[in-house]
Structure 1
Amino acid sequence: MRPFEDKDQTMEAAGAATSISASGLASGLGGDKKSLRLPLVSVIVINFNYGRFLGATVDSIFEQTYPNIECVIVDNASTDESGEVLRQIEQCRPNVKIVRRTTNDGQTPAALDGFAASNGHYVIFVDADDLLLPHCVETHVFVHLSLRVHVGFTSGDMIQVVDDQVVLGTEHAFNRTILERPFVKRDAARPYRHVLGPPWPDESFDRSILDTIRFVPMGANQWVWAPTSANCFRRDALALFADSPSLRGLRTGTDIYFCLGINAVSGSVLIDQAVAVYRLHGGNVYSRRPQLNHVLCYEPGGAGDSNALAKAYLIDHLIERADRFVGLGWTKFDYARLLWRLDCPNPDRAGPPWARRSRLASGLVNYFKIFARVLGPLHAKALMLASRVPWAEIRRLR
């Protein structure tokens, strides 16, 4: 079991392998030509009362074409047939890790428990009613290892399914970004081929996906990716954001918290290929029916919609951990720009108008001592002025 610490192993070793002779590197590793493996990918399934889908979801994980996967299932105190399905999975697949929670505190705490129980350098969170297409993990890893820009996560497209019938082959927000962004420059990726072990990927793998990937602007402050199950995160990127105490109170919105935060710090890439299946059954929070152009398919601000709270918690974390992000190489100016890009209205409506208008303004006041210690009082107060915190409020801070 690993907590949310940063990993000290570098992930550039695999990419560099293509420029070093296999025999030379093997001799430096004690002569064992197969001592370098492809990265372990942790696929973490979050389940609550989806026992009717869970078996098929787990089967889709074990049908992956990628050779190095661990599966972690987190059950959120289900009350349906999930318990029996989990017992069957344990009997048939003893290498699956199962985390049984005694209470259902929502999607985010379950995801954090699964993350703590996992070991992979790459992590995919899967909703228990979704399916992974057979090439999903292999596609994500191939893109990560081929990129010259080491982004925090990749996002593939999703097929939308109703009653086991495909009704849409793409996802709306993902499509919008693909149409707006130009094709990636040819020199931004170099096709990876693993030589220190069994050759990978094999000749049947479609390497042309590198010609159609898109980099998402780091300034993006709205959702532009596919939903949860289509995203593959670097573990060390997740670790930058997963230790916020507030996350234990965030029931949904896990993906928007991690995707917005990680993209703002280290960028992300869209893979223009479907890698997963989004099953629509009427109980989905954000897609109760197939997407239709200019027609919302969910109830904004309705039950289960925690997107506003997720954005607010992200701002809080960036302010509370100013020492982390400035210490990682961000200049004070760039760090301030990062906060401005991600600012959002404050879902806490109890404060004065200026605090309700901006979570950043509210957070800078609430965490002034922490923030000022890193940026210095003058820089901190200048940022507060730029965020339209009243001067009378700023003057009283020490």
Structure 2
Amino acid sequence: MALTYGFLSTHPPTQCGLATFNSALAAHLTGDGLFGGIVRVTAEGDDERPQPGVVHTWTPSSPGGWQAAGAALEDFDVAIVQHEYGIYPGADGQDVLPLLRCLAVPSVVVLHTVLAAPTPRQKALLEEIGAAAGAIVTMTCTARDRLTAGYQVDAGKVFVIPHGAADHLRVPARRRSRPHMLTWGLLGPGKGIEWALRALALLGGLDPSPIYTIAGKTHPKVLELQGEAYREGLHELAARLGVSTAVRHDPVYRDQDSLSRLIRSADVVVLPYDSAEQVTSGVLIEAVAAGVPVVATTFPHAVELLTGGPGLLVPHGDPAALASAVRRVLTRPGLADDLTVRTRALIPTLLWPAVAARYESLVRSLRAKRPTATTAMLP
């Protein structure tokens, strides 16, 4: 019997990683919306016009909005809830907690962040969310281990299901006349692009010299608070380093086909992130699934996925090490192929159909374990 799925999350046209993830997961679980619906969480300034598949909108200005959102989720067999601090109203997004507690249908909470050093309130909130949820999904073993070691949660509720990826390999690789370095995703401080620019300046001796594409819009929250200051700083840095002509800014939010073509044109994906907290990176998964070598700093997801796999790891904030790793990928014969061949068998397990099937299996198992409601017999 087909299950129906209710999803609680940010959702397009909101442009963020959480919304993109939820949209893809919903599409692969519900058969073009036939068996599901979205309860969309919005922020100030979001476009709140009706969207296909959205059955309810939880706006930040709605007092007690969690009650109506919870009621909308009750129309489905299961609620899949995306969690990130600050997505929901209340301090640290705490308004999602009473919603979870009031749900009669089983719930699966997907954790996009598990902090190693949370504030006491963040820690307590995540522990209470874990207690209220029927199951918890982390996208990496690192996140699972951090959660079970650092938080009081029922380890039996925690399941690891990877972040899904599109089938980029259906797009033929398109090599350019010059080696192509690529970083993509919503832009803002912490992405470490400045380190990649400094590394690019150290690669000037290569013939032909590489070009570096920085693809993606500025993150909406960064844009609201800081405008384009970060991107403008990158332009200024590139000019000081003398690499402006080798840098291509592509400040658009691409659809799937366009993104696949861009990724498959890259010789190496560079992820120079500053964060040592990042236990999940959708960009990293997409790059690996596209069969493109990756050079990344040692953020937790990269360490887990790239060690012995399709990429090279470098220390944070070290442009010389970053340049050396990129140089090796671009110039050492056979290295790029060797890196990507190591995970050829892994790629099918990362594609959205396989990931969605694991969510469906988890949901069916969760529903099977729920006690059947019985009516009390009065004497």
TM superposition score normalised by structure 1: 0.28
Greater relative contact order, per chain length (Cα 8 Å cut-off, separation 6+):
1
TM superposition score normalised by structure 2: 0.29
